[in-house]
Amino acid sequence: CSNTRFSRLMATVNLLPNADLANDWTLSTGSDLYEVINEDNTGAAFADGSTASTTTAGHEFYVALTNFTEDFSSIDSVQVVVRAGVNSRGATFRIRTALTDSAGSPNILYDETSGTQNASIGYRTITFTSRTTSDGSSAWTNTDLNNLRLLVEADVLSTGTCRCTFAYAIVTYTEPVATDNAVFFGTNF
- pLDDT at 151 exceeding the cut of 90: yes
Identify the burial level of 150 via C-beta atoms within 10 angstroms of its C-beta, where 0-12 means exposed, 13-18 middle and 19 or more buried: buried
Proportion of the chain above pLDDT 90, given as a percent: 74
Q: How far is CA 54 from the centre of its chain?
A: 20
> What is the structure's pLDDT at 102?
86
Q: How far apart are CA 188 and CA 130, in angstroms?
A: 51
Residue ranges of alpha helices (H) inside the chain are 33-36, 142-146
CB under 8 Å to 172, separation ≥6 — which residues?
10, 11, 12, 75, 76, 77, 78, 79, 130
Please state, in angstroms and rounded to a whole number, the distance separating the CA atoms of residues 159 and 88.
7
User: Which tops the pLDDT comparison, 8 or 29?
Assistant: 29
pLDDT level of residue 185 (50, 70, 90 thresholds): low
pTM greater than 0.75:
yes
Instruction: Tell me the per-residue pLDDT of 43-73, one tens digit each, with 9 for 90 and over.
Output: 666 678 889 999 999 999 999 999 999 999 9
Q: What is the pairing mode between strands 162-180 and 4-15?
A: antiparallel
Q: Please, which residues have CB within 8 angstroms of residue 74's CB and are 6 or more apart in sequence?
A: 139, 173, 174
- What pLDDT, in 10s, does the model give residues 93-124? 999 999 999 866 678 999 999 999 999 988 99
- First vs last Cα of the chain: how many Å apart? 26
